[in-house]
Structure 1
Amino acid sequence: MDTLVLGIGNEIKRDDVIGLDVVEALEARLDRPGVAFETMNSGRLLLIDELSGHDRVCIVDSIVTEDGEPGDWYAFDPQAVEPDRESGGLATHNVGLGTLTTLGEAMGESMPAITIYAIEVADPFEYGEGMTDPVREAVPALIDEIGDEIERELAADEGQNAVGRS
């Protein structure tokens, strides 16, 4: 199974750096065949090229929700961030990922299974260096969660391949 870990963020915006920092830590932990690591400063339609051709993608980003507290973190599928008509929706970097994957498939691209991991931030647009305390404190748990999940998937895939070779 080919997995891409994709961090989205901006290194000059305090808490928006989360995706970049988490991917850097995961790359050090999971540097092995079958796992690729990328970072982007923006999402939008550029994501189609990044996502296409992988079996699984883990996207790491910051998020602002209505009821969340800075430092809360979430794992969800793309449909959870698809904009709806009534609320204006919640979309990472202005494009709903559900729409993005549908568009990619319509263009003939092979779209992966996607899980989005996000840490709640108070202000993703604040310029400055260093994450705020609640966000910085949440990062290690998110790194562990994503790393453990990918390691489980790799082990299961290796087990299936070993059975297939017997």
Structure 2
Amino acid sequence: MRTLVLGIGNPILGDDGIGFHIAQELAKEINDENIDVKDTSVNGLNLLELIVGYDKLIVIDAIMTEDEKVGEIYRLKPRNSSETAWSTISLHHLNLATTIQIGKKLFP
């Protein structure tokens, strides 16, 4: 099983770069031929070229929540539904869940 650990963020924007920086540190520690660790600043459909071909995806990214607990770790699971709100899609502002849904349709 091929796994991708993907750190997302902008390394020059403070908290937003946390996923990017964590991935860089993990890459130094993980030595498993079935696990790739990558960092990126891209989002939306640009993520597809990075994640296609993997069996499992682990994403490390900063998020904003209503309770705004700084430093809290959240484990989010993809929705079971394969439905995507196609009418609300903007190619400039796709969230990760929508990007993955589109990827599953494009690369079954």
TM-score (norm 2): 0.79
Match of 2:35 in 1: 35
Give the secondary structure class of the aligned counterpart of 1:94.
coil
Q: Is the 8 A contact 2:48 2:100 kept in 1?
A: yes
1:94 aligns with 2:106: no
Paired letter, 2:94: V
Give the secondary structure class of the aligned counterpart of 2:24.
helix
Query: Deviations 1:59-101 (Å, cap 9, x if unpaired)?
Result: 110011111311111111233xxx98xxx9xxxx932333222
Overall identity of the aligned pairs, in %:
31
> 1:141-152 alignment to 2 at 5 Å?
none
Match of 2:51 in 1: 51
Paired letter, 2:40: M
Structure that is richer in helix per residue: 1
TM-score (norm 1): 0.53
Match of 2:22 in 1: 22
Give the secondary structure class of the aligned counterpart of 1:63.
coil
Give the secondary structure class of the aligned counterpart of 1:54.
coil
Aligned-residue RMSD, C-alpha: 2.4
Runs of 4+ in 1 over 4 A off after TM superposition: none
Which of the two has higher C-alpha Rg?
1
Query: Deviations 1:88-136 (Å, cap 9, x if unpaired)?
Result: 9xxxx932333222211221x14xxxxxxxxxxxxxxxxxxxxxxxxxx
Q: Is the 8 A contact 1:3 1:56 kept in 2?
A: yes
Where does structure 1 lack aligned partners over 5 or more consecutive residues?
A: 111-166
Report the Cα distance in structure 1 between the residues aligned to 2:97 and 2:12, rounded to whole angstroms.
28
Report the Cα distance in structure 1 between the residues aligned to 2:20 and 2:96, rounded to whole angstroms.
19
Q: Is the 8 A contact 2:27 2:38 kept in 1?
A: no
Match of 1:4 in 2: 4
